[in-house]
Amino acid sequence: MTKYKTAVVVDSTATIPDDLVAQYNLHVIPQIVNWAGESYYDNIDIKPKDFYARLATAQEMPTTSQPSAGEFYNFFQKVAETAESIVCCTISNELSGTLTSAHAAAEMMGDFPIEVVDSRSASMGLGFIAMAAARAVAAGADHKAAAEAARRLIEPMRVIFIVDTLEFLHRGGRIGGAQRLIGSMLAIKPVLHLQNGRIEPLASVRTKRKAINHALDTLTTEAGGQANLRVTVIGASDSDEVAYMLDEVNRRVQPAELLQAELSPVIGTHVGPGAVGVIYYAEPVG
């Protein structure tokens, strides 16, 4: 059995497209959707297309839970069969207890070398960070250097998104500083972003198209002209809005890498159907 020097583990909220999971040899531990008395592994037992179709007419709303320390431990044990060390990247500790479970499992692994990275991000913000760790591993880095490569992206990573309603974030307790927008939701579409790992309001506009354009304007202002710019357009479904955003990103900033990612059921539970966004960073030099 081939042993790899370092394996990169990431939780399923990263929403990394399947082809990139394979390309980067990533190990994805699923989060859990709880719905009508049943539990489903994120993007395994329940796929985004089926999830969003069911969510549109559901009388009972789903909830989510992170893998337990024991589930992480079992996952790490399996990965350790073909690796000498592990880098584990998780969704922001401000949004989930996943990091706590991962740290507890790492301690249970005893002397086996594991670096746990709090991405302070979510969706493809986390995905980009895990992919950076994997690129470092492919270039010969050990687990500590690969984790450092991941951590270098935490500060420059930008996650900006628009939801059709704050109801899902509010119900799931992930609303952060956007709480203060609740009273005005009938009149505005909020543009939200992650700041220090928390969901915070970025702007409030009157229509969803204006909200999308505000997110694109922010990308253009902050990152236009930067070399090594990597961008992902995210959406709860493959919609006309996602297609519009992809075209606009290409037209406005000509990124070195442009990806499209569908939000997994666990993320969808908290942002609701119709959520779209843009995630980006410029690769640090040196």
59 part of a folded domain: no
User: Do residues 219 and 115 share a domain?
Assistant: no
Which of these three, 151, 182, 204, is where a domain ends?
151
Is 109 domain-assigned?
Answer: yes
Whether 220 is covered by a domain: the verdict is yes
Whole-number Å distance between alpha carbons of 82 and 8: 12
CATH of the domain at 245: 3.30.1180.10
39 inside domain: no
Tell me, yes or no, whether 46 lies in a domain. Answer: no
- Last residue of one domain, picked from the residues 151, 171, 186: 151
Please tell me whether residues 188 and 213 are part of one structural domain.
Answer: yes
- Structural domain ending residue among the three candidates 122, 151, 180: 151
Residue 138 sits in a domain whose CATH number is 3.40.50.10170
Average pLDDT over residues 48-55: 90
User: Each residue of 204-218: pLDDT tens digit?
Assistant: 898 999 999 999 999
Kindly state whether residues 115 and 202 are assigned to the same domain: no
Domain span at residue 225 reads 158-282
Confidence of residue 285 (pLDDT cuts 50, 70, 90): low
User: Which residues, 6 or more positions from 126, have their beta carbon under 8 angstroms from its beta carbon?
Assistant: 10, 11, 13, 14, 89, 90, 91, 92, 119
In a domain, 207, yes or no: yes
Helix (H, G, I), strand (E, B) or coil at 91: coil
Q: Are both 274 and 190 inside the same structural domain? A: yes
> What would the pLDDT profile of 245-255 be if each residue is shown by its tens digit?
999 999 999 99
Same domain (yes/no): 223, 164: yes
DSSP per-residue letters across 50-83: HHHHHHTT-SS--EEEPPPHHHHHHHHHHHHTTB
- Establish if 139 belongs to a structural domain: yes
Find how far residue 40's CA is from the centre of its chain: 19
What is the pLDDT, as a whole number, of residue 34?
97
C-beta of residue 189 within 8 angstroms of C-beta of residue 206: yes
Residue closest to 280 by CA, chosen among 236, 227, 242, 232:
232
Q: Domains in the chain: how many in total?
A: 2
Question: What confidence tens digit (pLDDT) does each residue in 140-179 have?
Answer: 999 999 999 999 999 999 999 998 877 776 664 444 444 4
